[in-house]
Amino acid sequence: MNNELKNKKTEIALFVTCLVDLFRPSVAFATIKLLKEYGYTVVVPKAQSCCGQPAYNSGDYEGAKKVASAVINEFDKYKNVIVPSGSCAGMMAKHYVDLFKDDPEFSKKSLIFSKKVQELISFLSKIPDRKKLHSNFKGTITYHDSCSSLREAGVKHQARELLQEIKGLKIKELKHTEVCCGFGGTFCVKYPQISERMVSEKVADAEASGAEILLSGDLGCLMNIAGRASREGKKIECRHVIEVMADMTSVSPIGKKMKREK
Amino acid sequence: MITNRERILSKIKSNLGKEKDRAKIDIDILEARLKGSMPSLIPKRGIIQQDKLLEKFESSARGVDSSVSIIDDLSEIPKEVKYYLTQNNIASKIVVLPNKELDSIDWNKYPTLEVTKKFPDEKDETVFVSSYVAIAETGTIVQLSSSENPITSHFLPDNSIVLVKASRIVAAAEDAFKVMRKEINSIPRTITLISGPSRTGDIALNIELGAHGPRKVHLLIWNDTK
Amino acid sequence: MTVNPTSNNFKENAKKALADDNLQAALNNLKGGLISKRKEAIKRLPEFDAISTRAKNIKDEVFLDLDFYLEKFEKKTIEYGGVVHWAEDANDAKNIILELLKSINAKIMTKGKTLISEEIGLNEFLEENGIEPVETDLGEYIVQIAGEKPSHIIAPALHKTKENVADLFHEIHSPLGYKERQNSASALVAEARSVLRKRYLEADAGLTGANFLVAETGSTAIVTNEGNGDLTQSLPKMHIVLATIDKVVPTLEDVSTILRVLNPSATGQDMATYVTFSTGPKRRDDNAGPDQFHVVILDNGRSDLIGTDKQDVLRCIRCGACMNHCPVYGAVGGHAYGWVYPGPIGAALNPALIGIEKSHHLPNASTFCGRCEEVCPMQIPLPKIMRHWRNEEWKKKIPKYSVRLVLKLWLFLVLNPVLYRIVSSIFVRILSFFSPQKGYFSNLPFASGWTSVRDFPAPEGKSFLSQWEEEHDDNK
Ligand code: SF4
């Protein structure tokens, strides 16, 4: 892969993820911008929507398989599929294989496909001879490890190392970096009180860190944390980490007052 | 009538797809497994050179809150015991298990140390015993029950003073089992691995020593390898 | 019949637990202690992962020939004069134990810590039959005299603060002559020790669980720190061991391997204070030990898991690490789960033992954060098993109709990309149109689960895909 990635014309297919598509297009634009800067050709396959987690995690394996096979069929022709979300990447790279383990047609397909899928930050950290990030961003941030980025995509130090390349950026760590924020997909609406406890603790940790901005690689966590911080009247701003890396922070932070430009 | 036993075993077998009797070769493999065909996976800290065993045992034992003193000769035992009891404000009164090994100790030099040879009961405060082998990796002593060594001796008294021979310190628990398999034909009724005084964390997760077993464990290591 | 689960009240239980300041104070103890002690212990054992894999393999290997190993264990136990009883379910086990106790006219039975006795509701049953069960593990004892249930598998009284225990002991022990209210943990421990000493000596029988059944030797093994299990099993005339079919391992060495990962995971120790292997009753010339040694092997639904996608859960060695690290357990404590096994292991195991109908919240009340699987020394894929339970309940149509309908509609949209794009962009446009200036919604009628506890960030504007399409109209 490495050699091929050096090739300027390497094509990358972006799996936008449904949350980014609906609520935070900036994440996709930032991803595309940065990938292009690194010389890749980015394509956005048309027939995409969701990776199938809602069905899978609700126990509807049959439904999840239908979504998964559609995703595989649509993205199969690309060699690199980049996903700006740990949980969707985990779904596509790990859980598709589990889902199809007894399927005559897709067991092999999903296995091959799983090798192509990469979580965005992990991908960035592996680009060979990459020139350093040159974002003009200035400020103190804290980084929230989403559980799936951390445990399924294995992203931890990579995010920090990348962020440290940005000159004006200072990182302050959260006290409990390995603890979930309480999003958990449908969990947060099915068990709001427990989720509230978890996310409040995360917001408190974020505030205690002294950072102005909380970054993360998963929009689900970010909407959860931003939503709770907003409910508590906390100042902390939340952004997808790629917005800072790609120097695209002109859009308002998640859940904050809109700068209505368009 | 079909018994519970048959029902449980046949359910397991059918779920495993092993309704039929096993082939001879499969049974042989399983029997070999039970005889130790699988080599143990012992971590580095449990692989210890002969000359480091004592040192490692001592530090591990202290790590599990046992106190330790090292003696060069059996004749030092009464003095050490007396000293330990005085230092720790424990009544100068011990029960010594009546067995061949401990019988050779001459307690008479310390008349103020009251020694009774018997198996301890709940009224006895301090017991003096010897260990079968000791494990350096974890600071553990191993007790095998026998007519001369009832298991209750190690649990009823408040204080346990244990004689450990340096020559009987092994590296890991697996080594202790090896020694046992070599020396004893059939498994003793109880094998007890003891690592320090009894303890509990059941009140708000504070660790307190002296739950139901001994509050104190003192190890007298007799350096018989010198 | 097993102890009645209240797992279906999980939501209400959880709400109560979150509002219970005393419980929250007690749960707070978890954050520091056990988690950091485990970390330290693992640092001292660089081979932890490799040994954990070996430990996992040992159990997997045994399950492949479980019938063989159980029969072997039985044969060996009998050789040494023990008696093995097989119990298919809770009732069998209770009746077997009652008959044994009646045969020696037992009035008092001391107990070492055994979760299975909770599982089958043994204490209540014995009391009904005129036999007094006395818990001797300090945590179990506290819970028993408080008339409660354990809330954690290795620290049963985790839900109680030191002050709670002090009050409780003062109340219960005063009539026994312990007039003064003790305040320090050490004085409380000493008081319990003194009270329980008498009980050990009075007991006619002692019942323990088993961390392991060793097939090679026919031994049962217990792992404890207090020494209560040893007094329980060596003082009375009869020792009864209650263990489930999954506890069998081939050899003593296999026990050692598993202990190397069990102890650090459970308490952060390298080695528990006491590990005792018991084989048969008192020998002819022994001066201590029980006259009778009985092992009750219980199935209670476990054999149904053998050979299924949920078999992995049987590897559990009850170390408690999964619940110590679980954010849901940490928020609501063990009682909210409503049955014997709380936390992630409960969410994966309880549905197998009491049925998904009676426990359907448990595998759902998880964010799948994966920390439990990460810390599990037996490498049990706990989230995956919980997901399998969700699948089971989906197939049984247990989730509410409205939930299933929404998911069906969503699926329909997702599988029709063109339609999806139209509908989603309309949805986003409407949402954007109604977006307050402040950038978030405080209340969304269709997402009240979300907005009841947090604001809903407004979408940026148009959906990405519609913007992209506009820009790349001429695209390939
Ligand atoms: S599931 Fe794993 S972590 Fe949880 S108690 Fe069992 S062995 Fe320990």
At residue C406, the 3 state secondary structure works out as helix
C385: CA distance to ligand 1 center in Å? 13
Nearest chain B CA: its distance from C344 CA (Å): 21
Specify whether C293 is located in the same domain as C189: yes
Q: What is the CATH number of the domain that holds C241?
A: 3.40.50.10420
**What span, in angstroms and rounded, lies between the C-alpha atoms of B104 and A153?**
66
CA pseudo-torsion sign A157, A159, A161, A163:
negative
Contacts of C454 in chain A (CB under 8 A): 196, 199, 224, 227-228, 230-231
Query: Could you write out the DSSP letters of every residue in B8-31?
Result: HHHHHHHHHT--SPPPHHHHHHHH
User: Which of C271, C306, C310 should one mutate to test binding to chain B, selecting the residue with the greatest count of B CBs within 10 A?
Assistant: C271
Specify whether C357 is located in the same domain as C227: no
Phi, psi (degrees; rounded to nearest 5) at B121: -125, -170
Q: Which of C383, C303, C307, C302 is nearest to C345 (CA)?
A: C383
C261: CA distance to ligand 1 center in Å? 11
Is the C-beta atom of C318 inside 6 A of ligand 1?
A: yes
Domain count, chain C: 3
Specify whether C136 is located in the same domain as C277: yes
Contacts of B199 in chain C (CB under 8 A): 225-226, 273
Is the C-beta atom of C380 inside 6 A of ligand 1?
A: yes
Query: Taking phi first (over 0 means left), then psi (-120 to 50 degrees means alpha), and beta for anything else, what does residue C333 get?
Result: left
CA pseudo-torsion sign A182, A184, A189, A194:
negative
Question: How far, CA to CA in Å, does B27 sit from each of A253, B21, C72?
Answer: 66, 10, 11
Partner C, chain B 99-158, Cβ-Cβ below 8 Å? 119, 122, 137-140, 145-147, 150-156
Indicate which residue's Cα is closest to atom 7 of ligand 1: C316
Indicate which residue's Cα is closest to atom 6 of ligand 1: C316
Q: Which of A66, A147, A192 sits opposite C449 (nearest CB)?
A: A192
Q: What is the separation, in whole angstroms, between the first and last Cα of chain C?
A: 65
Contact status of C257 with chain B (Cβ, < 8 Å): yes
Stretch C294-311: mean pLDDT? 95
Nearest chain A CA: its distance from C335 CA (Å): 15
Query: Could you write out the DSSP letters of every residue in A48-72?
Result: ----SHHHHHTT-HHHHHHHHHHHH
Contact C440 A227 (CB under 8 A): yes
**What span, in angstroms and rounded, lies between the C-alpha atoms of A214 and A255?**
13
Confidence of residue C1 (pLDDT cuts 50, 70, 90): very low
Q: Which of C366, C370, C428 sits opposite A22 (nearest CB)?
A: C428
| DSSP single-letter state for residue C291 | S
C336 lies in some domain: yes
Domain B45-222 matching CATH 3.40.50.10420: the answer reads yes
Q: Which of C323, C322, C311 is nearest to C352 (CA)?
A: C311
A127: CA distance to ligand 1 center in Å? 38
Indicate which residue's Cα is closest to atom 4 of ligand 1: C322
C298: CA distance to ligand 1 center in Å? 20
Place of tokens 């143990």: B40
C318: CA distance to ligand 1 center in Å? 5
Specify whether C39 is located in the same domain as C162: yes
Structure confidence by residue, pLDDT tens digits, B118-132 = 999 989 999 999 999
Query: Could you write out the DSSP letters of every residue in A160-198?
Result: HHHHHTSTTEEE---S-TTS--S-TTTHHHHSHHHHHHH
CATH number of A3-125: 3.40.50
Q: What angle do CA C25, C153, C348 make, to 5 degrees?
A: 110
Partner C, chain B 37-56, Cβ-Cβ below 8 Å? 38, 40-41, 43-45
Is the C-beta atom of C336 inside 6 A of ligand 1?
A: no
Report, as ranges of residue numbers, the positions in chain B whose pLDDT lies below 70: none
Partner A, chain C 398-417, Cβ-Cβ below 8 Å? 399, 403, 407-408, 410-411, 413-415, 417
Place of tokens 């790279």: A93
Domain boundary, last residue among C358, C375, C395: C395
Specify whether C268 is located in the same domain as C410: no
The tokens for C360 are 């359907």
Cα nearest neighbour of A71 on chain C? C415
C221 lies in some domain: yes
Q: Where are the alpha helices (DSSP H) in B89-208?
A: 100-103, 173-183
Lowest mean pLDDT among B8-22, C21-35, C399-413: C21-35
**pLDDT at position B150, please?**
94
Specify whether C350 is located in the same domain as C468: no
The answer, yes or no, to whether residue C476 has pLDDT greater than 50, is no
Cβ contact C161:C26 at 8 Å: yes
Strand B199-203 to B206-209 pairing:
antiparallel
Quick one: which atom of ligand 1 is closest to the CA of C265?
8
Contact C366 A187 (CB under 8 A): yes
Domain boundary, last residue among C344, C376, C395: C395
**pLDDT at position A1, please?**
44
C342: CA distance to ligand 1 center in Å? 11
Nearest chain C CA: its distance from A130 CA (Å): 27
Contact B4 C66 (CB under 8 A): no
Cα nearest neighbour of C329 on chain A? A194
Contacts of B208 in chain C (CB under 8 A): 185-186, 189
Contact status of C35 with chain A (Cβ, < 8 Å): no
Indicate which residue's Cα is closest to atom 8 of ligand 1: C319
CATH number of A139-245: 3.40.50.11810
ipTM exceeding 0.95?
yes
Domain boundary, last residue among C348, C378, C395: C395
**What span, in angstroms and rounded, lies between the C-alpha atoms of A199 and A187?**
12
- By the 10 Å C-beta count (0-12 exposed, 13-18 middle, 19+ buried), B16 is classed as middle
Is the C-beta atom of C320 inside 6 A of ligand 1?
A: yes
Quick one: which atom of ligand 1 is closest to the CA of C153?
5
Q: Contact partners of C by the rule of 3+ C-beta pairs under 8 A?
A: A, B
Contacts of C67 in chain B (CB under 8 A): 9, 12-13, 16, 18
Contacts of B203 in chain C (CB under 8 A): 138, 142, 157, 160, 162, 165, 185, 188-189
Question: How far, CA to CA in Å, does A62 sit from each of C362, C381, C398?
Answer: 22, 21, 16
The answer, yes or no, to whether residue C201 has pLDDT greater than 90, is yes
**pLDDT at position B132, please?**
97
pTM above 0.90, yes or no: yes
**pLDDT at position A261, please?**
45
Report, as ranges of residue numbers, the positions in chain A whose pLDDT lies below 70: 1-9, 258-262
The tokens for C162 are 């030191």
Is the C-beta atom of C385 inside 6 A of ligand 1?
A: no
In chain A, CATH 3.40.50.11810 covers 139-245
Confidence of residue C2 (pLDDT cuts 50, 70, 90): low
Nearest chain C CA: its distance from A5 CA (Å): 23
Which residue range forms the structural domain that includes residue C452? 401-475
- Do A and C count as touching (3 or more CB pairs closer than 8 A)? yes
Contact status of A191 with chain C (Cβ, < 8 Å): yes
Cα nearest neighbour of C86 on chain B? B5
Structure confidence by residue, pLDDT tens digits, C204-259 = 999 999 999 999 999 999 999 999 999 999 999 999 999 999 999 999 999 999 99
